[in-house]
Amino acid sequence: MRSFPRALLVTLTGALAVLACVDAREPAGEGRGDKAEQQAPSSAKDDAMPRDPALDPTIDPMTLTDAEWKAILTPERYHVLRQAGTERAGTGPYLENEEKGAYHCAGCGQKLYDADHKFHSGCGWPSFFKEVEPGAITTHRDTSHFMVREEMRCARCGGHLGHIFADAPDQPTGNRHCVNGTALIFVPEGADVNEVLRADRKK
């Protein structure tokens, strides 16, 4: 039915200009043009790289949605960093790592701990006697699991790292930062931080 008026119009006028005009309007009349316009921006967005504050320092990690964190973190890291989870004692990475270098946040890439401040506490999680510099982490009172503990979070992204315990009298600060290795990315001394973070995200 739709083609009939068009054929009639073409026959009546016989003019190429009118034919061109009708042809151009036809897709829009069927909605194809509108649809294409609506889909273009969203499909372009889907194809784009997810916002990753570890790879782009201009991204404010505090603005990431839960879905965006899920898209860039492994399930284990998401559980620890974004759901305040705890890796099982003795199972996380870096427990025995004695290399020189720095430990960065697996969520946002911020430098959190220096290998020089790491010590063997025997607790089953990587332990440090202090953060790399004041302000790298924030502390929060945690009353979950029927305990009162001091929770540590990454100051840049708010990701959960672990807890601080004042039970390391043989260490310079007397404190043990008990950190989930899952929440960390180790950058060996002399290595390019951005390269290490990029390579880690491709794992």
Residues that bind Zn ion (CB under 5 A): 105, 107-108, 110, 154, 156-157, 159
Q: What is the DSSP letter of 54?
A: T
**Residue nearer to Zn ion on the CB measure, 122 or 135:** 135
Is 123 designated active site?
no
**What residue type is assigned to position 127 of the chain?**
S
Task: Let me know: does 110 contact 156? Beta carbons within 8 Å.
Answer: yes
Residue type at 171 in one-letter notation: Q
Rank residues 92 and 159 by Cβ distance to Zn ion and give the closer one. 159
Shortest reach from residue 85's CB to Zn ion, in Å: 15
Question: How many Å separate Cα 66 from the centre of its chain?
Answer: 9
Nearest distance in Å: CB 108, Zn ion: 3
Question: In 3D, which of 111, 104, 117 has the Cα closest to residue 173?
Answer: 117
Least distance between Zn ion and beta carbon 188 (Å): 20
Pick 26 or 76: Cβ nearer Zn ion? 76
Total residue count of the chain as it appears in this document: 203
Count of alpha carbons within 13 Å of 160, Cβ hemisphere only?
19
Catalytic residues: 178
